[in-house]
Structure 1
Amino acid sequence: MSQREDTQTTGGGNERAFLIAVDAGNEGQLLSVEDSLQELATLAQTAGAEPVGMMTQKLEHPDSATYIGKGKLEELKALEGQLAFDVVVVDDELRPAQQHNLEDQLRARVIDRTELILDIFAQHARTREGLLQVELAQLAYRLPRLSEHAINFSRVGGGTLGAR
């Protein structure tokens, strides 16, 4: 296995990406939600994905379970069949539960801005040290997400006497 194969990347070059963002109406933001989504589209293209659509939702704050509201999630599921996208890219950093819940509702993979940027670094790292730094950053990023999945695989009542 070569050094380049050790580092995980999202893009396979032919992925179709759908971009989503929540507009919380923060006055102090440097970029508007539309400008931020345009930047995210450029990042997705740099990673090798083809942006096929965008969606925003005005909320005071992202939904704690799925990032977007139920209505927008249903709309996204309908668009998934029409646009045939394989990955949903979220313009914010998702909590592990939000990412897991979105993936359960969609047939597409869900990644956030942080993971997308890490993937771009992984694709462009050339030196052994650079590859190791990117891999370390990716593993540190994925650790809480693995912990979330471990909860699903843990034994029920594993520490209780007589529960086995």
Structure 2
Amino acid sequence: MFKVGIITASDKGYAHERVDESGKVIKEIVEKNGYSVAKYLVLPDDEAMLSKEMIYMSDEMKVNLILTTGGTGFSERDVTPEATLKVVDKLAPGIVEAIRHYSLSITKRAMLSRAVSGIRNKTLIINLPGSPKAVRESLEYIIDTLQHGLEILQGIASECARK
């Protein structure tokens, strides 16, 4: 069973001015697919706090997957991709490219996403959109393939070639 950390980036959520629905959607989907949620929290749109938590979840908690929601747009306060890029060792651009490609079939606004994905040690980190609807669409689109990627990252599987 893979361990997941969930981080919602939201100033209003952190200040208890808005209920975090997007993080709840992530939790629902990953648990339905057999993952264990090790930690779930809401942080403000603060690059240093987001980076510090990703490092903690990866290095100390040893989670296999960190899913973030929010902070990937054009607002001055949207800094989740920058926080992620500070902590990853390798990029895994195909994941967010696939999400954007799929999302473009639903809305042209998907082109405005600045989300990134990458690997820190043995942890895969993926930025998801901020809205509950977009989170559901995106995560349900990639969840089946994520398992194989995580198996390779953990050394459980060794090849991507299809038989």
TM-score (norm 2): 0.45
TM-score (norm 1): 0.45
Which structure has the larger Rg? 1
